[in-house]
Structure 1
Amino acid sequence: MSIEVAPESAPRTTAERILDAAEDLFAKKGYRATSLGDVADRVGIRSPSLYNHFRNKEALYQAVLERLIAEFSGPLAALSSQKVPDKDRVMQWLETIVRQHHANPNLARLLQHAALSGGPHTNEIIERLFQPMFQPMDERSGMSDQFGQLHQLGLQPWAVMGFNNLVMSYVTMAPMYRDLLGQDPFSEEALENQLTLVRTLLKAVFAYREE
């Protein structure tokens, strides 16, 4: 009886290893504080070798952003493709985003650095990643009904911004609360606690009616 051996995954190319290292460093230190020498040292190559793959630091940074935007924009695109989005779909999208940020906190950390100290293509990030969520809701889609008074009061953008901040600030700030929480903020238990909080708040948004 022969035993089938699962094929090994293909080794990562040098360009992919450079992107991995750059993503971690940009997330940790920000664009301005990260040098190509830092990236080369992390990969284990000489700095001039980087130019065989990326023409300069800005091009490397943009490539990192492109990869992250592609990774994180998928769930929203899937939700937008639905003809009649409902509460369950919105909840599923938000839960997916929470899980994505837990699995890869680098996007939130990179954006925090960009907000505080700047970096190229920041406006492009906002446009491509967040602008679709700020679009006015179509009454025919049923989404405006889900958000109730918040839509009628013109507070949809503020609700979107609030949930974005809630989700992304968790992965940037939660490590500071590790001792107070008494658990790893990136553990499965902590993830479930955050998901419970997000579900509870989103249900309150759905149900909100102005007094």
Structure 2
Amino acid sequence: MSLNTAEPVARTKGERTANRIMDIAENLFAAHGYDGTSLRQIAERADIAQPGLYNHFASKEALYKAVLFRALNPMTLALSNHINNAATLREYADLPATITDILLEHPLMAVLFQRAMQGDSASAGNQLVNAWLEKLLNQGMISLQSFDGITTTGTEKTDSQSRAALAINLIAMFNLTTGYFLSQRVFTSLAQGDLLDADNIARQKRLLHKVIRAMLIS
């Protein structure tokens, strides 16, 4: 279920075209990377003349930024909301399910994350994704630090040790959530079917809740 419960706003023709361009660009960027995707390819797939792209996006970088913002800004808002409002362990353990819903709308973001984290750090595209990742993960650290349910009992730890423990928890949460969307090929070989099927998404959410809750109280 989407986080946005407001009535959908009617889009202009220009907005519909820009959104279709972003859909196509998102697929091509995930398949070929930022550097391996050209505006010509995007224009051909969108069935418009390449100069027509500039009516909507000033450059390939601007288009890439728009693709990232559309998918990732909802994540920053969700994390901010949990930082401000997650008062109980259950509420915090539900955060990965919320992120799963957001990723479900743009599942190829997991591929872009993987490319950015493992690829050439000098790539313009990877730098743009890593800037978003840094923002998201920093918010995640703040969220973990502010959550009263995460405590260290029985031992005293230095600040560096505590931060390391939080970082490991955050990375585990991130990998469990995003890794699901990278596993279709493995799932097909093991069980057939579609990982994005509603029943499988529900199974993933239940598993995430159990794992994250256990992690937070351990």
Across the two proteins, how many residue pairs are aligned to each other?
198
Q: Select which of 69, 73, 78 maps to 1:70.
A: 73
Distance 1:157 1:8, change over 3 A: closer
Mapping 1:171-186, distance limit 5 Å: 171-186=181-196
Q: Which residue of 1 aligns with 2:150?
A: 144
Q: Contact 1:101–1:107 at 8 Å: present in 2 too?
A: yes
Q: Which residue of 1 aligns with 2:44?
A: 41
1:207 paired with 2:213, answer no
Distance 1:149 1:52, change over 3 A: farther
TM-score, with normalisation over the residues of structure 1? 0.81
Q: Which residue of 1 aligns with 2:61?
A: 58
Mapping 1:1-211, distance limit 5 Å: 9-10=10-11, 11=13, 12-82=15-85, 85-118=87-120, 119=125, 120-135=127-142, 137-138=145-146, 141-145=147-151, 153-154=161-162, 155-208=165-218
> What secondary structure is seen at the aligned counterpart in 1 of 2:150?
helix
Distance 1:62 1:148, change over 3 A: farther
Distance 1:100 1:122, change over 3 A: closer
Q: Contact 1:40–1:47 at 8 Å: present in 2 too?
A: yes
One-letter amino acid matched to 2:106: N
CA–CA separation in structure 2 for the residues paired with 1:134 and 1:8: 34
> What secondary structure is seen at the aligned counterpart in 1 of 2:145?
coil
Instruction: Give the root-mean-square deviation of aligned CA atoms.
Output: 2.7
One-letter amino acid matched to 1:96: T
Larger Rg: 1
> What secondary structure is seen at the aligned counterpart in 2 of 1:38?
helix
CA–CA separation in structure 2 for the residues paired with 1:29 and 1:143: 42
Deviations along 1:147-173, whole A, 9 cap, x unmatched? Answer: 768995521111111110111011012
One-letter amino acid matched to 2:109: L
Deviations along 1:112-144, whole A, 9 cap, x unmatched? Answer: 122233423233112322211123614xx5143
Q: Which residue of 1 aligns with 2:3?
A: none
Percent of aligned positions with the same letter in both sequences?
27
Question: Which sections of structure 2, spanning at least 5 residues, go unmatched?
Answer: 1-7
Alpha-carbon deviation of 1:26?
A: 1.2
TM-score, with normalisation over the residues of structure 2? 0.79
Q: Give the 4+ runs in structure 1 shifted more than 3 A.
A: 7-13, 147-153
Question: Which sections of structure 1, spanning at least 5 residues, go unmatched?
Answer: 1-6
Q: Which residue of 2 aligns with 1:4?
A: none
CA–CA separation in structure 2 for the residues paired with 1:111 and 1:117: 10
CA–CA separation in structure 1 for the residues paired with 2:69 and 2:202: 29
